[in-house]
Structure 1
């Protein structure tokens, strides 16, 4: 599919694979990355891409996948398959950790059924065989050592060894003290020689103590002796250790025999872990290069939107720079894009970006381009990049180019992507140009797709007059004399040879002589191309400015529409309020009139009483028709007015209804205050509080400070939830966390134990959702490791 084979390396695909391998956690995962090759089946490519995309989304937006232990269990399973062999304790421990990881992963996806449909295909129909785990856990402890109670005999032997060792130690301590008392010992304490505990005895006294001499000092003045009675006890311990080892081997052989029927399942688990590591590495790399999944097409086409070269992007991010995105479209109408322009203007990067991204997609890798990009599937990718001269094959640079062109013209078809850099170079331009044009004509007749870079004018003219070929150029700022790295399709570009030479500082007389030596027609063509470049640059800049102005106008229009909607709503609300107020006034007026009439009747038309009632009626009318003063601007959110006093954040107030003091921690825009009563927060209307001043305020502050100090002194920044049910554990954790936040404690130690890691998972999921927890981490491995979590409170 790829010709020549080194084209993959020249396009940078091997470097991409190397970067993905660095993300792998296991050797089997790295081996799978090494085997990545472009595929041709659309369904298979689509599945690979979707699996990578789902894993990327999982890493970015979901709880971490429990892949702590990815040991290669295939060699262990193969070893267990052999009758008569057995796995060692550490090997069983690796199998146990891997099985726990497998079951945790299966449970993880079972809990998210339907959410990651393509990833679920990796372990479809794989059962959870917990019997294997229980059998290993009955024998192997959490340190990877055999349990003392793995069998009754092993427990008896272990207890005998312990008892004999204690007896031997007790006896040697007695002999050592006696030897010290007699003055036989050298300076120093008991020491180990040849694995046996010995007493340092002065050389002149070594015959006075019966025992076995294991060693002597470099000077010969000290002998290290194991006392005779201790020697027999130590030999007994050694015999018991041999007996224990035989029992351990018997248990391991028995456990291996129980594991042997499950070897095919273990191999399936190995495949799952390897694939998970493989897809995880691809997803992590996709995050690094800000990659997305493009649309796939059955046709041989390419439409890249905002595409960037992944290796260039990684280097730019490291140097805190940006990469100019590439927009390029290759379809049935414009099958071959002929890119021209100045040297170091980005022509080769453009071509390599197209080739590399096509290879990545067909290999199941996400690419750094918009998800609106669309790529087809090519059966062949032919590339001619760089110098392939060979002394051994007697090939010059141009001969190597021609040999590739021969292969291209013979085997290319409509499903072939052709990439050629600096087409036609390597020989006399007078002959190289026509040969390149003839080759391009032959390839075009085969309906190939491709990107070709060149400086040859005859190729630019040929492309402009031939269907299926399209000129394109890399924009160049001929004022600042610098490349813009922007691909512009539709017109060829100038090489800017004279302009670049002038900027570099080549003498004017040399440049003038060179201009006289080129043909008049060629000079006109190059001048025309430079003018076209200048016009294209002006059009491009104008287009950008217009686009910016349009976006500004759209923003202003949206703000205007939002303001108009707000004003309309306010208007409707004011009308509703006015109608309600008028209705209430009418209601009150009718009631007042009826009461007045009733009073007049009851007063039996008494003139004084009637005048009085009329005055009251007129006063009520004046009250309702009086012009209301305009509303004053609302106070800033940081203060409020209660009575005649301004209340601000930090003030102490007294709640009138509750006769309780509290401190203001926030003043809302409405008529509410948010108060702190110790560890409790409450909302109170502004007119329901009285601001405290002077001695009364000082007394309250002093009392609350003493209570707060006492609260901090009594607080224990540690919570033990081991053995609790999940709901009880989270409830207790919430209580302690809330109190730590209230008193401003920086850290909290949470003891949840290891076990199957379920409680740890729920605790850490809760910590992720708790706003005041900035981050958390495991305790040091020597002090509990992942059985303890430290939460840091911001």
Structure 2
């Protein structure tokens, strides 16, 4: 159920529909886009998403999809149902080409000799089913139509006779005219460059008016200027008349051929129309896939039930608009589940609250219409049975409705019809009337929405709704972030704390007199101003420390990986050195043996020659020196081994270092004076008072009453360690690393690259994946000759941090894609 009737217009889906229609090849697909509708059936939505996702892969693949002739001849086929009707040449030609296209599409999904289960497009292959094809009909059409769509001369014996006689008669006319023309030219009645001209289907000779009596024949026409008349010589009148008769006979024969052929087509019309329904569906899915590529959309993980767990969601229309301006959209991260179902977003005007709300509405509606959405692949998307929206000015003079009255009319419908499978999208909740009563009515409505278990995204400026969200299970605050120093919105959503409207800061920025600002501040009171300031400080500090914590974790992981890699490299160098030294010693022993043999031979020769003994001693001394120089390498090797042993001992001592016992720290018991923080948050506060299942906690200067089950106890040592860690990384490096992580995609395409270029790209990609903690990535290298695939896998085998790798599932690319699992 969708409410109100102009829901699509309010969220911008009408523009999405037109963009998809523009990508259709024929009216067949356009009709399907026009009838595209919201569905809450899990199986149906999953099937539609799978079909579009598979077609995206087809468009990205190397095999060209047949999409040449998507002609719509359904009206012509319906027209020939009565006896005696026929298809003309163009209609028959379009029918033949479109039937050929359907046959080619079916062959694409069911290749000859292939099994459906082996083909990587199962959802689309199911569509093929028992769609009829008409090879015999196509052959029969080819027998009577030429490649230009005209009836062939040999379509019937009678047509062949007529056209042969026409050709012979035209040749006779041409020869007669040429003879008459040459005679007239020699007599000076006609210029030398004049040639016979066709007028009204008859060949004639153009002549000056002064000489029209010189040529016997019939004057049929004259030029617009009156300087030329066109004469049909009497010698060719009968022949031209015969041509006219033959043309009539030709038309009648062609009509007879088409009428007889239509008799063959007529009983096949129901099956042909079924084939056109298949073509319409393919055109529709293809248009959706093209649009998905245009907006970088994907098929997210679909959950059968209400859920929003979105990472890096993007408003597609905003994306296309900013893309033309060479700007980037700031993505949206949002999560709504059974614990926190309703999100109350506050923040400054023009800070992105309405864009956030419209992004949720548009993407959820697109998904449940079977369209892929621009979102990160780690996201999970659920289904809702009802989508209700209240946004914009619905003032109506005809119905005597004010803006606020129209909002209340919508709220009445929401309260009566919402349930646990409803998502409510309400902009500026409670506005349009006196703030105090407007805020009270809005809070009363919010209580009922929450009681019915509905989901929702609600924007507001009212403080009472922020307090209600803070203290009510099922409802959570959210803030659109704002840079207080630069005085500009960041267009980022932060869930967990309310936002400030920055009314004073914005008023000061635009130049409102300071005395006006001061008087307004005095009227609302210091408490209100201070609370607004504290909200700004909390949001700022939370964003700062979350960025710090995230970047420190990245740096710690990187340092651990580097240390591990250096140890492995050192061991590898040691092993390599041992091998080299072993080979060197073997070579030295060989040389030594040869040298000994040579020296002994020399000694024998000296003895035989009765040489001096001193000479013999000198030779032996040189041999001993050579032995010592070779054996020194053994001592060097032993020294390296001792260094490695020391490194291992130091590592073991670090592991076995005894832990000094400390007083037990029980996280389950929270007492007055303990340091606590909201679960999932970083900012800590002090417990001031305990009341049954709630606690009063001081977060800086702000005191808040929070349910105990939303708090977790933290030790002072833990807070100190986190504070120390957060100071390790420079702000510049943190921002660079965060930007790089946000832009990291878990897939790389190296198809078409040379081996060395691809290997370098994969090396950088794997390094980044390990650094950012990715658990699984995909490398698209294609099949081809298999050389690129082998190079990449040889590199992966030798890379630390790669746990294993294998081919992608056959349905998603098979051997053309390597899936890498990282440690």
The TM-score with structure 2 as length reference comes to 0.72
CA distance in 1, matches of 2:307, 2:129: 34
2:41 is matched with which residue? 41
After superposition, give the CA deviation of every residue in 1:601-632 in whole Å (9 maximum; x if it has no partner).
7998554499999888777776676689x9xx
CA distance in 2, matches of 1:609, 1:142: 110
Question: Alpha carbons of 1:571 and 1:583: their partners in 2 closer, same or farther (altered >3 Å)?
Answer: same
Instruction: Give the match's secondary structure for 1:335.
Output: strand
2:230 is matched with which residue? 224
Instruction: Give the match's secondary structure for 1:234.
Output: helix
1:142 is matched with which residue? 147
Q: Say whether the 8 Å CA contact 2:479–2:497 is kept in structure 1.
A: yes
1:724 is matched with which residue? none
Question: Alpha carbons of 1:38 and 1:617: their partners in 2 closer, same or farther (altered >3 Å)?
Answer: farther
Q: Say whether the 8 Å CA contact 2:423–2:456 is kept in structure 1.
A: yes
Instruction: Give the match's secondary structure for 2:327.
Output: coil
CA distance in 1, matches of 2:150, 2:311: 57
1:158 is matched with which residue? 163
Matched, 1:589 2:592: yes
2:583 is matched with which residue? 580
Which aligned pairs between 1:166-177 and structure 2 lie closer than 5 A? Answer: 166-177=171-182
Matched, 1:195 2:201: yes
After superposition, give the CA deviation of every residue in 1:39-74 in whole Å (9 maximum; x if it has no partner).
011000000001111111221233221111111132
Instruction: Give the match's secondary structure for 2:345.
Output: strand
Matched, 1:87 2:68: no
Instruction: Give the match's secondary structure for 2:252.
Output: helix
Matched, 1:540 2:546: no
Which aligned pairs between 1:209-358 and structure 2 lie closer than 5 A? Answer: 209-218=215-224, 220=226, 222-358=228-364
1:76 is matched with which residue? 76
After superposition, give the CA deviation of every residue in 1:304-362 in whole Å (9 maximum; x if it has no partner).
11111111111111111111111111111111111111111111111111111110111
1:386 is matched with which residue? 392
1:709 is matched with which residue? none
Q: Say whether the 8 Å CA contact 1:7–1:385 is kept in structure 2.
A: no
Question: Alpha carbons of 1:604 and 1:264: their partners in 2 closer, same or farther (altered >3 Å)?
Answer: farther
1:50 is matched with which residue? 50
Which aligned pairs between 1:473-492 and structure 2 lie closer than 5 A? Answer: 473-492=479-498
2:533 is matched with which residue? 530
Question: Alpha carbons of 1:10 and 1:613: their partners in 2 closer, same or farther (altered >3 Å)?
Answer: farther
Aligned residues: 632
Question: Alpha carbons of 1:345 and 1:173: their partners in 2 closer, same or farther (altered >3 Å)?
Answer: same
Question: Alpha carbons of 1:562 and 1:162: their partners in 2 closer, same or farther (altered >3 Å)?
Answer: farther
Instruction: Give the match's secondary structure for 1:389.
Output: coil
In the TM superposition, what is the alpha-carbon distance from 1:554 to its structure 2 partner?
3.8
Q: Say whether the 8 Å CA contact 2:499–2:539 is kept in structure 1.
A: no
After superposition, give the CA deviation of every residue in 1:71-99 in whole Å (9 maximum; x if it has no partner).
11322332344432221111121112112
Question: Alpha carbons of 1:625 and 1:104: their partners in 2 closer, same or farther (altered >3 Å)?
Answer: farther
After superposition, give the CA deviation of every residue in 1:232-278 in whole Å (9 maximum; x if it has no partner).
11222222222222222222223222223322232122112211111
In the TM superposition, what is the alpha-carbon distance from 1:600 to its structure 2 partner?
6.7
In the TM superposition, what is the alpha-carbon distance from 1:584 to its structure 2 partner?
3.2
After superposition, give the CA deviation of every residue in 1:455-498 in whole Å (9 maximum; x if it has no partner).
11111122222221111111111121111111111111121112
Instruction: Give the match's secondary structure for 2:145.
Output: coil
2:379 is matched with which residue? 373
2:448 is matched with which residue? 442
Q: Say whether the 8 Å CA contact 2:99–2:133 is kept in structure 1.
A: no
CA distance in 2, matches of 1:7, 1:104: 40
Question: Alpha carbons of 1:583 and 1:441: their partners in 2 closer, same or farther (altered >3 Å)?
Answer: same
Q: Say whether the 8 Å CA contact 2:133–2:275 is kept in structure 1.
A: no
Q: Say whether the 8 Å CA contact 2:131–2:278 is kept in structure 1.
A: no
Question: Alpha carbons of 1:237 and 1:561: their partners in 2 closer, same or farther (altered >3 Å)?
Answer: farther
CA distance in 1, matches of 2:442, 2:140: 72
CA distance in 2, matches of 1:237, 1:361: 65
CA distance in 1, matches of 2:206, 2:582: 109
In the TM superposition, what is the alpha-carbon distance from 1:560 to its structure 2 partner?
4.8
Which aligned pairs between 1:489-638 and structure 2 lie closer than 5 A? Answer: 489-518=495-524, 520=525, 523-555=526-558, 557-590=560-593, 593=596, 606-608=609-611
Question: Alpha carbons of 1:75 and 1:611: their partners in 2 closer, same or farther (altered >3 Å)?
Answer: farther
Question: Alpha carbons of 1:196 and 1:611: their partners in 2 closer, same or farther (altered >3 Å)?
Answer: farther
Q: Say whether the 8 Å CA contact 2:428–2:458 is kept in structure 1.
A: yes
After superposition, give the CA deviation of every residue in 1:561-601 in whole Å (9 maximum; x if it has no partner).
44443343232122112212222332443455457657877
CA distance in 2, matches of 1:619, 1:263: 107
Instruction: Give the match's secondary structure for 2:144.
Output: coil
CA distance in 1, matches of 2:618, 2:169: 116
Instruction: Give the match's secondary structure for 1:197.
Output: strand
Question: Alpha carbons of 1:574 and 1:387: their partners in 2 closer, same or farther (altered >3 Å)?
Answer: same
After superposition, give the CA deviation of every residue in 1:609-664 in whole Å (9 maximum; x if it has no partner).
99999888777776676689x9xxxxxxxxxxxxxxxxxxxxxxxxxxxxxxxxxx
Q: Say whether the 8 Å CA contact 1:478–1:534 is kept in structure 2.
A: no
Instruction: Give the match's secondary structure for 2:153.
Output: coil
Which aligned pairs between 1:666-681 and structure 2 lie closer than 5 A? Answer: none
In the TM superposition, what is the alpha-carbon distance from 1:548 to its structure 2 partner?
3.4
CA distance in 2, matches of 1:287, 1:63: 17
1:432 is matched with which residue? 438
Unaligned stretches of 5+ residues in structure 1 = 631-764, 771-794
CA distance in 1, matches of 2:198, 2:620: 115
CA distance in 1, matches of 2:625, 2:531: 87
Q: Say whether the 8 Å CA contact 1:188–1:200 is kept in structure 2.
A: yes
In the TM superposition, what is the alpha-carbon distance from 1:404 to its structure 2 partner?
0.8
In the TM superposition, what is the alpha-carbon distance from 1:386 to its structure 2 partner?
0.6
Question: Alpha carbons of 1:552 and 1:618: their partners in 2 closer, same or farther (altered >3 Å)?
Answer: same
Q: Say whether the 8 Å CA contact 1:592–1:617 is kept in structure 2.
A: no
1:98 is matched with which residue? 98
1:107 is matched with which residue? 107
Instruction: Give the match's secondary structure for 2:330.
Output: coil
In the TM superposition, what is the alpha-carbon distance from 1:206 to its structure 2 partner?
2.5
CA distance in 1, matches of 2:150, 2:614: 109
Q: Say whether the 8 Å CA contact 1:600–1:609 is kept in structure 2.
A: no
In the TM superposition, what is the alpha-carbon distance from 1:174 to its structure 2 partner?
1.0
Unaligned stretches of 5+ residues in structure 2 = 634-782, 789-823
CA distance in 1, matches of 2:139, 2:625: 91
Matched, 1:415 2:447: no
CA distance in 2, matches of 1:19, 1:617: 95
Instruction: Give the match's secondary structure for 2:220.
Output: strand
CA distance in 1, matches of 2:592, 2:229: 121
Q: Say whether the 8 Å CA contact 2:387–2:423 is kept in structure 1.
A: yes
Q: Say whether the 8 Å CA contact 1:194–1:214 is kept in structure 2.
A: no
Matched, 1:460 2:469: no
Q: Say whether the 8 Å CA contact 1:2–1:8 is kept in structure 2.
A: no
The TM-score with structure 1 as length reference comes to 0.75
After superposition, give the CA deviation of every residue in 1:693-742 in whole Å (9 maximum; x if it has no partner).
xxxxxxxxxxxxxxxxxxxxxxxxxxxxxxxxxxxxxxxxxxxxxxxxxx
In the TM superposition, what is the alpha-carbon distance from 1:553 to its structure 2 partner?
4.8
Instruction: Give the match's secondary structure for 1:450.
Output: strand
CA distance in 1, matches of 2:385, 2:472: 25
